[in-house]
């Protein structure tokens, strides 16, 4: 009598796409079409565990014994079926021992010329009270990056605010400094910035273009939507000026695609109308949506019902994305595009993002924060740009989130795509950045299932879309 075989349910998830059973291999985030033999084994073992001999016997009327045995060996190797042998620990490392920083976010000014009602920035000031980062701090940030992680080949320097262009002099100084410094070290550097667009001029746009900045513009949609929350310090809507500046930017900018970043707050769920305005009418290359559910100002958080509606509307836009993909067109829906990229590349994330692991954010005083959202918060910093990273404290923090025992993440089918969710979302909602974002779980699981379905349909009908629009993303 052989060992008793059992399904390892925590490692497999099936999604039905028309007549196909798609098997999502959770440990590797890989997707397979379930063939008849595999489906037969899964269905049989789901009813009751049995020995390999019994399994061959039960399926004898449908499949040759050798075929069942060969498929069974593959499923055991994938740890989708257990023969009683110990399973490989999913996250082999239970502790973060070393971080490999390649990105520094410079919070160049706490001041902002807007006063967006929902802003999460905990250190935001009016323009006159803005605390600007000093040149010495910014240069020390770059030196810290090279000192802490000298072996990386490519680095990113991100300019953030407030409104980063309100400290334009520092940005221009640092671009010159970085281009010389990284070239001398034989390294590549790229510059990234998110801006509200209001301070852009033709001269600034051409300069950003010459230095190949990766740009994102904060804009919430058509005038009626945008002007609800994105207002000046004096309370005036900013759509007209942002639209004028963005049109100018999009007509002149050539070096890289420009994306729009949309914040969804209470009362705003119409994803398709916003996307249509920004993509089709204005011409942004990509549009990404960030739903607010855990901001400090609860009046602006989406309600539970609105969040459900947002995801339903994102799926409606996702169906348009699929329709376009089958015609070999990319309609720039960032959220779904990123999910499909993760599925295609078999992304297996032990942690939710690069915060603390590959990226740290520097506040205006030089303190090292987990990410740009934490500058000015009560979460302790992890060292400063002069004395370096408090590696032990940072490793301890990241290792807390790495440990999934006793959390719903331990067996969740999207655990390697979500990895517990955004640290700042957890911090704002639960007061603990290591706490999983449970309020998102069911919606995120459904969203990933939708992504699997869209990806499967694209691969079946127009795989060239993946090689044209998904694979090249790694090159940027």
> pLDDT digit string (tens) for 390-422?
999 999 999 988 888 888 898 899 999 989 999
DSSP H or E stretch at residue 399: helix 391-402
Query: What gap in Å lies between CA 290 and CA 352, rounded to an integer?
Result: 16
Angle at alpha carbon of residue 11, lines to 6 and 14, rounded to 5°: 95
Return the structure tokens found at 475: 């090159």
pLDDT at 298 over 90: no
- Report pLDDT for 474: 46
Contacts of 233 (CB under 8 A, 6+ apart): 113, 114, 115, 126, 127
Judged by DSSP in three states, 312 sits in: helix
- Report pLDDT for 472: 61
Going by their DSSP bridges, the two strands 154-161 and 103-109 should be labelled as parallel
Determine the length of the chain: 476
- Report pLDDT for 113: 80
Cα–Cα distances in Å, from 27 out to 89, 125, 254, 340? 10, 44, 40, 17
pLDDT at 358 over 70: yes
pLDDT at 120 over 70: no
Query: What gap in Å lies between CA 156 and CA 76, rounded to an integer?
Result: 42
- Report pLDDT for 261: 97
Tell me if 23 sits within 8 A of 33, measured CB to CB.
yes
pLDDT at 94 over 80: no
Tell me if 55 sits within 8 A of 5, measured CB to CB.
yes
Number of domains in the chain: 1
Return the structure tokens found at 334: 């960032």
- Report pLDDT for 2: 67
DSSP state of 355: B
Query: What gap in Å lies between CA 301 and CA 291, rounded to an integer?
Result: 8
- Report pLDDT for 138: 98
First to last CA, the chain: 55
Give the gyration radius of the chain's Cα atoms.
Answer: 25
Helix (H), strand (E) counts: the chain? 16, 15
- Report pLDDT for 129: 58
Tell me if 13 sits within 8 A of 26, measured CB to CB.
yes
How do residues 23-54 score in pLDDT, each as one tens digit?
999 998 999 999 999 999 999 999 999 999 99
Judged by DSSP in three states, 404 sits in: coil
- Report pLDDT for 318: 98
Tell me if 225 sits within 8 A of 236, measured CB to CB.
no
Query: What gap in Å lies between CA 120 and CA 417, rounded to an integer?
Result: 25
Write out the residue range of the structural domain in which residue 13 sits: 6-82
Q: Which residues pair with 6 in a beta bridge?
A: 82
Tell me if 337 sits within 8 A of 318, measured CB to CB.
no
Residue 399 covered by a domain: no
The residue among 158, 198, 135 whose CA lies nearest residue 364 is: 135
Residue 57 covered by a domain: yes
How do residues 373-382 score in pLDDT, each as one tens digit?
898 888 999 9
In this prediction, residues 456-460 reach a mean pLDDT of: 95
In this prediction, residues 207-230 reach a mean pLDDT of: 96
DSSP H or E stretch at residue 239: helix 239-252
Query: What gap in Å lies between CA 247 and CA 80, rounded to an integer?
Result: 52
How do residues 137-171 score in pLDDT, each as one tens digit?
999 999 999 999 999 999 999 999 889 999 999 99
Where do we find the tokens 């939710």?
Answer: 352
Residue 54 covered by a domain: yes
DSSP H or E stretch at residue 341: helix 334-344
Query: What gap in Å lies between CA 113 and CA 125, rounded to an integer?
Result: 9
Return the structure tokens found at 391: 């590696």
Average pLDDT of the chain is 92
Cα–Cα distances in Å, from 287 out to 249, 282, 464? 16, 11, 22
Residue 214 covered by a domain: no
Return the structure tokens found at 10: 């925590």
Burial class of residue 298, CB neighbours in 10 A (0-12, 13-18, 19+):
exposed
Return the structure tokens found at 351: 């942690």
Query: What gap in Å lies between CA 75 and CA 80, rounded to an integer?
Result: 5
Tell me if 340 sits within 8 A of 458, measured CB to CB.
yes
DSSP H or E stretch at residue 107: strand 103-109
Q: Domain of 24: which CATH number?
A: 3.90.930
């Amino acid at each position: 009598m052989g060992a008793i075989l059992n399904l390892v349910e925590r490692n497999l998830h099936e999604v039905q796409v028309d007549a196909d059973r798609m098997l999502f291999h959770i440990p590797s985030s890989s997707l397979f079409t379930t063939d008849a033999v595999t489906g037969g084994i899964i269905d049989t073992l789901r009813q009751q565990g049995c020995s390999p001999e019994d399994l061959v016997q039960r399926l004898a009327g449908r499949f040759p014994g050798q075929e069942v045995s060969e498929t069974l060996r593959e499923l055991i190797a994938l740890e989708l079926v257990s023969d009683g042998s110990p399973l490989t620990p999913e996250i082999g490392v239970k502790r973060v021992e070393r971080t490999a920083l390649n990105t520094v976010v410079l919070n160049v000014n706490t001041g902002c010329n807007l006063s967006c009602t929902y802003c999460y920035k905990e250190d935001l000031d009016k323009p006159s009270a803005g605390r600007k980062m000093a040149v010495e701090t910014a240069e020390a940030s770059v030196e810290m990056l090279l000192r802490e992680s000298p072996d990386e080949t490519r680095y990113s320097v991100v300019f953030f605010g407030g409104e980063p262009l309100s400290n334009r002099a520092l940005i221009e100084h640092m671009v010159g400094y970085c281009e010389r410094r990284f070239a001398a070290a034989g390294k590549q550097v790229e510059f990234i910035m998110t801006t509200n667009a209001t301070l852009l001029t033709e001269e600034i746009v051409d300069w950003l273009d010459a230095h190949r900045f990766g740009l994102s513009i904060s804009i919430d949609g058509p005038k009626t939507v945008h002007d609800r929350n994105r207002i000046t310090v004096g309370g005036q809507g900013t759509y007209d000026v942002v639209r004028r500046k963005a049109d100018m930017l999009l007509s002149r900018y050539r070096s890289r695609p420009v994306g729009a970043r949309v914040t969804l707050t209470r009362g705003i769920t119409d994803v398709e109308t916003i996307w249509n305005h920004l993509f089709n009418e204005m011409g942004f290359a990509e549009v990404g949506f960030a739903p607010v559910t855990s901001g400090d100002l609860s009046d602006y958080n989406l309600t539970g019902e609105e969040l459900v509606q947002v995801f339903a509307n994102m799926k409606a836009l996702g169906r348009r994305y699929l329709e376009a993909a089958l015609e070999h067109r990319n309609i720039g829906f960032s959220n779904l595009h990123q999910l499909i990229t993760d599925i295609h590349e078999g992304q297996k994330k032990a942690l939710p993002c690069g915060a603390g692991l590959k990226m740290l954010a520097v506040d205006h005083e030089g303190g090292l924060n987990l990410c740009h959202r934490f500058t000015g918060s009560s979460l302790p910093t992890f060292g400063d740009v002069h004395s370096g990273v408090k590696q032990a404290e940072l490793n301890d923090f990241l290792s807390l989130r790495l440990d999934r025992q006793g959390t719903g993440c331990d067996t969740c089918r999207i655990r390697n795509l979500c990895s517990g969710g955004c640290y700042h979302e957890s911090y704002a909602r639960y007061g603990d950045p290591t706490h999983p974002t449970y309020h998102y779980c069911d919606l995120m699981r459904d969203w990933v299932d939708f992504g699997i379905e869209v990806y499967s349909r694209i691969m079946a009908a127009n795989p060239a879309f993946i090689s044209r629009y998904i694979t090249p993303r790694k090159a940027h």
